[in-house]
Amino acid sequence: MRNPVPACDRLEQALARILDPSGEGSRTFLSLYRESAEQAATAADRRSRDGTTLGPLDGAIVSIKDLFDVAGERTRAGSIALDDALPAREDAPIVRGLRDAGAIIIGKTNMSEFAFTGVGANPHYGTPGNPADRSRVPGGSSSGAAVAVADGMCEISIGTDTGGSTRIPAALCGVVGYKPTKERISTRGAFPLSPTLDSVGPLGHSVEACALADSVLAGERPWDLERPTLQELKLAVPQGPVLEDLDEVVAPRFESSIGLISRAGARIVDLELPVLERMNDVQSVATIATVEAYRIHHRRIAERGSDYDPIVRSRIETGSAVSTDAFLGMLKARSELVAAMDLALVGVDALIYPTTPIVAPTFEDISATKGFNANNRLLLRNTAIANFFDLCAISLPMRGPGALPAGLMIVGRHGTDRQLFRIAAAIEMLLSG
C-alpha cells in the first residue's frame, strides 16, 4: 500500500481532520495517540528513504476499535461500566501485529456499547454523524471506524464483526468493510461480545486496502489480488427475507448492480436456502450472541446496570431466557447448519445481496425505543447470516443516484477469503467504473 506522500504529511492531515472543531473527530475517536503516531510516521518515512519496508501496511495510518487491548490502558468497549477495569497488561495480538508491520496507530474509535447494536449510537460518548448526512447514524457497531475512514481521519480502520459490525457501517458510510472466516484472525485481547461469533476485520476505501490489512491481521504474507474475469463467476442471489423491505435507495441500486455484473458476463442465479429458516428457528428465543453476552455481563449488570445503555442492557438480558442445556443444543444445531450451508454453496462462487435493506436511519428515526429496535433488526438481518454460518463476507459501495450510501454484500464459503477478495476486487472495478 505504498503512498508517495510521506507518512508524516499524511498523519498531519489526518490529525487536522480529527482535531477540526467543526468536524466529527471528538465523537469518532475516544483515544488519540498523537505522540506515538508521530514517532511511528517518522520511522516509516526513514525506512522509505532507506528503501526498506516492514510490509504492505508500513506507513499506513490505522485506527483500532475501542474494544482492543492496548498495554497500560483500560479497555472501555464504548462503555462507562468498565471504568473500574484494570489496565491491559499487553497489546492485543492484532495491535502488536499492526505495530510490527509498521502501521501508524492513530487512535481508538467509538463504537456501540459492548459492540451490541447495528445502529452505532453511543449515549456515553456521543455518536459521530454519518459522513453523507450528519443527521443520520453511521451504523454499528464499528461506528467510529467507518466514519474515520470516510472522513479521512485514517486510511484503514480495524473493527470487529459479530453480526455485521464492520459491514453495516461500511455500507451506511460508503466504504468497504470485511468479515473474515472467524478462525483466521485472533480475537484475543478484544473485549468479547460472543466468543462463538466474534471476528476481526478491516474497513478501508478499497478492496485492496482491506485485503492488505487482512493479510497483516491474519499473520500471512502479502498475496496476489489478481482479479478473475467476471465470465468465470457464478454468483447466487439468495431468495427470501434478504430481499424483503428494500428501501427506495437500496432496491434500484441492487437491481442496477446485478444488471451491470450480469452484462459483464457473470452468471447470476437465484438460490433457495432453506437453512436460513432453520437458522431463525434455532435462534427463536434468543440469538447465540445474546445468550453469550448475557453470560459475560450478567454479574456486572447486577452491580452496575444503571451505567449501561438501556437498550443494550435490555437486549443482553433477553439472553437469560435460554438455559445451559438449551444453549448447548443451539450450538449443536448451529454446527449442523454450518455444514449444511457449506454443502448448499458447492458450485457457487459467492452469494450476492444487499448488505442492509435500508440506508442509514436518521437520529430522529431511532430516538424512541420502538424505532431503534425496528431499524436495528433491519440493519442486522442480512449481515448476521455470514456470522451464524461462519462464512466470509465483504460490503462494497453500490453507486447510484442520491447522496446516501448503500452496500452490496458478497459472501464466500468458509475459508475462501482470498478468493472472495479477488471476486470483490473484480466487482469493485466494475461498479466504480
User: For residues 20-37, b (16+ Cβ closer than 10 Å) or e, as one string?
Assistant: eeebbbbbbbbbbbeeeb
Residue 36, pLDDT above cutoff 70: yes
Mean pLDDT of 372-401: 97
Which pLDDT value is given to residue 224? 85
Task: Specify whether the CB–CB gap between 254 and 246 falls below 8 A.
Answer: yes
Bridge partners of 105? Answer: 62
Read off the pLDDT band of 223 (50, 70, 90).
confident
- Residue linked to cell 476486487: 425
Which pLDDT value is given to residue 425? 97
Q: How many residues does the chain have?
A: 433
Mean pLDDT of 280-306: 98
Read off the pLDDT band of 314 (50, 70, 90).
very high
Residue 31, pLDDT above cutoff 70: yes
Lookup: cell for 419 = 478468493
Q: What is the pLDDT of residues 156-170, one digit of tens each?
A: 999 999 999 999 999
Lookup: cell for 289 = 450472541
Mean pLDDT of 292-312: 98
Q: What is the pLDDT of residues 399-425, one digit of tens each?
A: 998 899 999 999 999 999 999 999 999
Distance CA 241, CA 245 (A): 8
Q: What is the pLDDT of residues 90-119, one digit of tens each?
A: 999 999 999 999 999 999 999 999 999 999
What is the chain's mean pLDDT, rounded?
Answer: 97
Task: Specify whether the CB–CB gap between 199 and 185 falls below 8 A.
Answer: yes
Distance CA 199, CA 289 (A): 12
Tell me the catalytic residues.
65, 141, 165
Which pLDDT value is given to residue 1? 67
Read off the pLDDT band of 433 (50, 70, 90).
confident
Which pLDDT value is given to residue 3? 84
Which pLDDT value is given to residue 222? 85
Written in H, E and C, the secondary structure of the chain is CCCCCCHHHHHHHHHHHHHCCCCCHHHHEEEECHHHHHHHHHHHHHHHHHCCCCCCCCCCEEEEECCECCCCCCCCCCCCCCCCCCCCCCCCHHHHHHHHCCCEEEEEECCCHHHCCCCCCCCCCCCCCECCECCECCCCCCHHHHHHHHCCCCCEEEEECCCCCCHHHHHHHCCEEEECCHHHCCCCCECCCCCCCCCEEEEECCHHHHHHHHHHHCCCCCCCCCCCCHHHCEEEEECCHHHCCCCCCHHHHHHHHHHHHHHCCCEEEEECCCHHHHHHHHCCCCCHHHHHHHHHHHHHHHHHHHHCCHHHHHHHHHHHHCCHHHHHHHHHHHHHHHHHHHHHCCCCCEEEEECCCCCCCECCCCCCHHHHHHHHHHHHHCCHHHHHCCCEEEEEECCCCCCCCCEEEEEECCCCHHHHHHHHHHHHHHHCC
- Residue linked to cell 508500513: 58
- For the entire predicted model, the pTM comes to 0.98
Strands 267-271 and 104-109: unpaired
Peptide bond into 141 cis (omega under 30): yes
Residues 6+ apart with CB under 8 A from 242: 276, 353, 354, 357, 381, 382, 385
Backbone angles phi, psi at 27, to 5 degrees: -95, -15
Strands 200-204 and 156-160: antiparallel
Read off the pLDDT band of 2 (50, 70, 90).
confident
Q: What is the pLDDT of residues 39-82, one digit of tens each?
A: 999 999 999 999 999 999 999 999 999 999 999 999 999 999 99
Distance CA 213, CA 149 (A): 14
Nearest to 376 by CA among 160, 172, 131, 145: 172
